[in-house]
């Protein structure tokens, strides 16, 4: 959008022309052009392009595992990169009511690098110190919990905090007493 306006100038047209007197009128016409910009990132201190991260806007990585036996487990079919994300939203839908156990594991495959480290130990429980505002400094397993699910064939959403910086996989173990179909999906939040 282009716009003309008058602005005060510390010099005038006559002083710019070399005349030594100060004129009464100290305003000049200025063309002002405004261009919209969109920032998609920056070049970081290492010289690498880093795009602007945003939270996921919908669940993805939909996975359906059929007839998982009692005490059988599923692993996420893809490694989840939480390097720039803090919160993982895990959605679960089961076909049989009962107990289910959740775990978060170090992601990757034996042949994949964990960022720049290779080989890596995979399928190990992720451990970290809890938040710095806590009174404990010991390493703690990030998620090892059991949930009794009474709603079947509906999505249940679980929020898992403090995962920033990890590559991970989730594990869900069927402890419902019989076969269960399990569907999962994820969403990452900054």
Judge if pTM exceeds 0.85. Answer: no
What residues contact 165, with CB distance under 8 A and at least 6 apart?
Answer: 82, 83
In tens, the pLDDT along 58-67 reads 999 999 999 9
Question: Mean pLDDT, to the nearest integer, of 130-157?
Answer: 81
CATH code assigned to 55-189: 2.60.120.380
In tens, the pLDDT along 39-90 reads 777 888 888 877 778 898 999 999 999 999 999 999 998 889 898 899 999 9
Q: Map out the domains of the chain as residue ranges.
A: 2-33, 55-189
The whole-number pLDDT of residue 186 equals: 96
């Amino acid at each position: 959008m282009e716009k003309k306006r008058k602005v005060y100038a510390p010099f005038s047209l006559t002083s710019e022309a070399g005349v030594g007197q100060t004129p009464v009128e100290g305003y000049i016409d200025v063309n002002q052009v405004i261009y919209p910009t969109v920032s998609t990132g920056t070049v970081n201190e290492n010289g690498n392009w880093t795009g602007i991260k945003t939270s996921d806007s919908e669940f993805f990585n939909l996975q359906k595992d059929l007839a998982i036996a009692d005490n059988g487990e599923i692993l996420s079919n893809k490694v989840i990169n939480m390097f720039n994300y803090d919160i993982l939203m895990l959605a679960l839908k089961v076909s049989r009511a009962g107990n289910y156990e959740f775990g978060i594991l170090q992601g990757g495959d034996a042949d994949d690098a964990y960022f720049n480290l290779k080989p890596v130990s995979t399928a190990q429980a992720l451990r970290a110190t809890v938040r710095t505002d806590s009174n404990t400094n010991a390493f703690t397993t990030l998620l090892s919990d059991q949930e009794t699910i009474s709603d079947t064939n509906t999505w249940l959403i679980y929020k898992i905090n403090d995962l920033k910086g990890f590559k991970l996989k989730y594990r869900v173990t069927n402890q419902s007493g019989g076969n269960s179909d399990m569907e999962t999906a994820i969403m990452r939040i900054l």
